[in-house]
A and B are shown apart, each in its own frame.
Chain A
Amino acid sequence: MAPMDEEIEALADALLALDEPGAIAVTRELIEAGADPQVVLQRGLADTMLEVGRRWNAGELFLPEVVAAAEIFRLCNEIVEPALIAAGGRTLGHRVVMATVKGDLHDLGKNMVGAMMKTAGFEVHDLGKDVPAERIVEAVRELEPSIVGLSSLLTTTVPEQRGVLTALEEAGLRRSVKVMVGGAPVTEEWARQIGADGFAPNAPEAVRVALALVGDERLAGA
């Protein structure tokens, strides 16, 4: 195994072991040593998050471990991203506007999805949290994204997702953009009910759905 492969494996191991300082240190070493940032991101981080997702679905991991892995992923991604941009990165040519809806300040899930979307090659514009529908409409008008991703964690803020869809409709923008929804209380049934184009229960699945929505079936099925 080449030395760089060993380091990538060490990064994956540290992330799976939820070793925050270890994962950050290996990521930094890799980037400083000139490793391909796309490889670091994909093989060291994104693939490992897929494994985290698999273990979560299988009941082998619990919430704290998944959230910890997501946060370590985010911190490592912050180190990789500048190198990725400098290297030209892989881009799909699709923009995504993401927001946690009005009244909701929980952005852990949205941040995770945003980071993994970037990894997949989307250009992500994160509007932050507690974002009113009008601001999202404005961003859609300005940025002309392929996808809008809406997140809600609170039962009481989930209806805001419908409000955003209505606002997009009223602004005459609904047909120009695909809308994905997610968040702990959000279900596929709800997504269908409000006329969203996509729903994902977790970040890796969100990337798969997004790729399918922009028509990249090959990548979506990968």
Chain B
Amino acid sequence: MVGSERRPLAILACGALAREVREIAWSRGWDADLHTVPALHHLSPKRIPAEVDRRLQELEHRYERIVVVYGDCGTGGALDAVLETRGVERTPGPHCYEMLGGRATLEALRTRPGTFFLTDWLVRNWDRAVVEGLGVGRFPFLRGPYFDHVTHVRYLRRERDPALTERARAVAEFLGCPLEIVDVGLGELEGRLIGLVEGAAPTP
């Protein structure tokens, strides 16, 4: 029957990694469709497993295979439980900061817990995700409780875009902390996603 054939691959990704995933898929020439879950779900991580599950249910009849691009992302293993039930794998890692910045990210969190990480997505979406999303714009008195502990800002930069870099500087200024820029490109996400899709061993 026309139109009933399943497509080979769906990549279900957190919206915060959509650009990176698209770039990797394009560079590898995968015949894949990208579907995203809104990145702002991170503001209430317990919503992520339910939303991913709902999307997987929608997609599983339309695709031969689905892979998920997410970290644990504060779900406390609940996302992995959903994926196990559906028989779907995800990119390994606790969160996108680690996927992009690698072990150095975890080391920074361990030795300097006041490090606040920025990615291209977060820089682009600062107003939506933080000023509006966390309510700092409407409730300026929340700035202290949210950010008083922040001592450093580390920007895991993918694009050397002067406008984005300028915005990152403005964020660091808003937080009152020094900005450190680390050019990570696609980081470890690239190797892990390729490993997942093409079957090679994931980058450790």
Contacts and interface: CB of A to CB of B under 8 A. Distances in A.
Chain B interface size band reads 20 to 34
Nearest to B144: A71
B141 A20 contact: yes
Contacts of B78: 187, 189
A64 B141 contact: no
B138 A130 contact: no
B157 to A, nearest CB: 22
Contacts of A106: 149
A212 B73 CA distance: 31
A62 B43 CA distance: 9
Given A155-B95, A156-B94, A67 B135 contact: yes
Residue among B73, B95, B135 with the most chain A CB within 10 A?
B135
Interface stretch (B20-28, B108-116, B164-172): B108-116
B113 A104 contact: yes
A71 B142 contact: yes
Interface residues of A, number: 31
A155 B71 contact: yes
A189 B77 contact: yes
Given A64-B138, A155-B73, 6 more contacts: A20-B139, A62-B43, A65-B135, A106-B149, A155-B72, A184-B74
Interface in A19-75: 20, 62-65, 67-68, 71, 75
A185 B75 contact: yes
A89 interface: no
Contacts of A130: 113
A163 interface: no
A108 interface: yes
Contacts, number: 82
A158 interface: yes
Interface of B: 43-46, 71-78, 81, 94-95, 98, 106, 109-110, 113-114, 133-135, 138-139, 141-142, 145-146, 149
Interface of A: 18, 20, 62-65, 67-68, 71, 75, 103-108, 111, 129-130, 153-156, 158, 184-187, 189-190, 201
A104 to B, nearest CB: 6
B70 to A, nearest CB: 11
A190 B141 contact: no
A154 B109 contact: yes
Given A155-B95, A189-B76, A64 B71 contact: no
B74 A155 contact: yes
A184 to B, nearest CB: 5
A64 B109 contact: no
6 contacts: A20-B139, A20-B141, A71-B139, A103-B110, A155-B75, A155-B76
Residue among B76, B94, B149 with the most chain A CB within 10 A?
B76
Contact of B113 (A20, A105, A111): A105
A191 to B, nearest CB: 10
Nearest to A63: B43
A185 B74 CA distance: 4
Contact of A129 (B71, B75, B81, B149): B149
B145 A108 contact: yes
Contacts of A187: 76-78
Contacts of B94: 155-156
